[in-house]
């Protein structure tokens, strides 16, 4: 049930309509999107690992690729990346607290060398940021994950890449 804390009341011709807060609309969107994206997570993770295994040139590279584990956003702090897309999934983990009830799998590339990255996060800030970018047609987007200390650990969010000096061309 919506409360004044959760929503904004708007007068109408027949009474008062309660407009949900944007975060409530985001959670509803995530639920619909998770249904549409169902089943893609396992494929994405397996495909990323198999790509690394099959691309290995040496036995050492082969074994390193075979040890691949799922990356979280916290693992990629300060790694400049181009975020290409993301899928939404319902979080049913008792181990992690998903404030929005969902997590996302992000498909990205390292800016430095083009290496493919697939990582996950339950960060409400990152989920909200990526949804906004997607809705505005801004994906792919070049950015970096930055963390800040909080009372209960660390909070991560996306930040734009630092502006780089442009070399003047000789005329």
Tens of each residue's pLDDT in the chain, 171 residues:
344 454 565 666 776 666 777 777 777 777 777 766 676 656 666 777 788 888 889 999 888 877 766 789 999 999 999 999 999 888 776 666 667 788 899 999 999 999 989 899 999 999 999 999 999 999 999 999 999 988 878 899 999 998 877 777 766
Q: Which long-range contacts (CB under 8 A, 24 or more apart) does 152-161 make?
A: 154/74, 155/123, 155/125, 156/73, 156/74, 156/77, 156/121, 156/123, 156/125, 156/126, 157/123, 157/125, 157/126, 157/129, 158/83, 158/125, 158/126, 158/129, 158/130, 161/80, 161/111
| Residue 132 in domain | yes
Residue 50 placed within a domain: no
Question: How many structural domains are present in the chain?
Answer: 1
Residue 117, in any domain of the structure:
yes
Query: Is position 13 within any domain?
Result: yes
Residue 156 lies in a domain: yes
Structural domain that includes position 147: 8-40+70-160
């Amino acid at each position: 049930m919506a409360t004044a804390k959760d929503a904004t009341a708007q007068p109408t011709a027949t009474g008062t309509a309660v407009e949900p807060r944007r975060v409530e609309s985001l959670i509803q969107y995530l639920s619909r999107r998770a249904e549409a994206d169902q089943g893609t997570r396992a494929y994405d993770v397996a495909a990323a690992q198999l790509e690394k295994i099959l691309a290995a040139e040496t036995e050492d590279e082969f074994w390193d690729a075979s040890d691949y584990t799922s990356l979280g956003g916290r693992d990629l702090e300060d790694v400049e990346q181009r975020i290409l897309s993301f899928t939404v999934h319902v979080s049913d983990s008792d181990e992690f607290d998903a404030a929005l009830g969902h997590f996302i799998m992000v498909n990205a590339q390292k800016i430095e060398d083009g290496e493919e990255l697939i990582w996950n996060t339950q960060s409400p800030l990152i989920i909200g940021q990526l949804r906004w970018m997607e809705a505005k047609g801004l994906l792919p987007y070049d950015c970096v994950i930055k963390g800040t200390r909080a009372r209960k650990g660390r909070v991560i969010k996306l930040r734009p890449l630092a502006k780089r000096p442009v070399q003047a061309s000789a005329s």
